[in-house]
Amino acid sequence: MKKIILLTFLTTSSIFFNSCSGNDDENSNTANTIYAKKWYVSDQRFLTTNDGKACESSYYNLKSNGTVEYRYMVSSWHYNCEHDTEMGTWSVEGNILTRHFPSDPGTENEIIMKDEIMSVSETDLKLKSLEEGYVTTLYSFD
Does pLDDT of 5 surpass 60?
no
* Residues 69-112: tens digit of each pLDDT: 999 988 765 567 888 999 999 999 999 999 999 987 777 889 99
Q: How far is CA 47 from CA 56, 59, 133, in A?
A: 6, 13, 27
Q: Could you tell me if 66 and 89 are in contact, meaning their C-beta atoms sit under 8 angstroms apart?
A: yes
Does pLDDT of 60 surpass 90?
yes
With H, G, I as helix, E, B as strand and everything else as coil, classify residue 24.
Answer: helix
pLDDT of residue 112: 94
* Residues 6-32: tens digit of each pLDDT: 333 333 333 333 334 444 555 556 667
Instruction: Find, among 91, 97, 93, the residue nearest to 118 by Cα.
Output: 97
Whether the predicted model's global pTM rises above the 0.85 cut: no
Q: Could you tell me if 61 and 86 are in contact, meaning their C-beta atoms sit under 8 angstroms apart?
A: no
Task: Give the chain's domains with CATH numbers.
Answer: 2-139 (2.40.128.280)
Q: Could you tell me if 30 and 21 are in contact, meaning their C-beta atoms sit under 8 angstroms apart?
A: no
